[in-house]
Amino acid sequence: MSDSFDSMRRARTVPAEHQRGRTRAGRAATQIHATLRDEIVRMELKPLDILNEKLLGQRFGVSRTPVREALLRLADEGLVEIYPQSGTFVSRIPRRALYEAILIRKALEATTVSLAIVAMRDDRLQGLEENQKALRQAAQSGDIAHFHQIDSEFHQLVADIAGYPGIWTVIAQVKVQIDRYRFITLPQQGRLDLVIAEHAAIIEGMRRRDDGAAVLAMSQHIGRMTEELQDIEHLDPALFIDDA
């Protein structure tokens, strides 16, 4: 009876330990994915940079298994390309996919700001103004990453005011290539001031509850990137790829 009980206990223990190991590996893969994704989006890891599984394992102090899982997730997002015989590389920015993402975002955000005007309250308007103040401070400090974060929070806040935060969830899923492009263009002379001015126009339209003005300001703000894509020859061509 005792031997039988011990056998049953061992049978239960082994799967539990195995499950804990899988859980730890899953958490490690999630952390590695988040870190590499952030570095790719911020252009700290640039297109065509090599991602070596062994070196990444040493960097994060893990085996190759969670590293490989993280890279597969990034590949699914179009941020890395995996070639079994050649290695893994950071993907170039696909021009057509970038253009399509901008069009999708432009349409969704124009709808969102229109809905936000209907649901606008004074306290929510104050939140937009506080965001605008933080955006100016980030611009003055020259912190591009912080500026980009506050910029994103502005658009998320508009969706929250509209009462449709799920719209921002959809936008966040499609804008990863837009974010990479933004980290290329935001450091350009005068770009931060332009974004601040465009946000101010959106806020003013919302303050006056002028649907036409607010939608136009938002459409111009997002749509400006489509115009810029027609003239990006001055940017490093190695960063982009034609995916038509």
CATH of the domain at 10: 1.10.10.10
Number of domains in the chain: 2
- Does residue 194 sit in the same domain as residue 205? yes
Q: Count CB neighbours of 18 within 10 A.
A: 10
**Per-residue CA distances from 31 to 62, 69, 75, 112, 195 (Å):** 11, 11, 16, 32, 31
Residue 176 pLDDT exceeds 80: yes
- Does residue 160 sit in the same domain as residue 221? yes
Longest dimension (CA), the chain: 81
Strand partners, 240: 93
User: Are the CB atoms for 144 and 183 separated by under 8 Å?
Assistant: yes
Q: Where a domain ends, among 91, 112, 142?
A: 91
Domain that holds residue 25: 2-91
Higher pLDDT, 232 or 92: 92
Query: What is the DSSP secondary structure assignment for residue 50, as one 8-state letter?
Result: B
Give 33-87 pLDDT, tens digit per residue: 999 999 999 999 999 999 999 999 999 999 999 999 999 999 999 999 999 889 9
pLDDT computed for residue 238 by the predictor: 84
Which range has the worst mean pLDDT, 73-82, 123-132, 174-183, 229-238?
Answer: 229-238
Rounded to 5°, the CA angle 148-38-179 comes to: 45
| pTM (two decimals) | 0.84
Q: Nearest-CA neighbor of 53 among 64, 39, 69, 40? A: 64
**Per-residue CA distances from 173 to 20, 42, 76, 104, 138 (Å):** 30, 16, 12, 11, 25
Rounded mean pLDDT of 14-26? 62
Residue 14 pLDDT exceeds 50: no
pLDDT computed for residue 9 by the predictor: 47
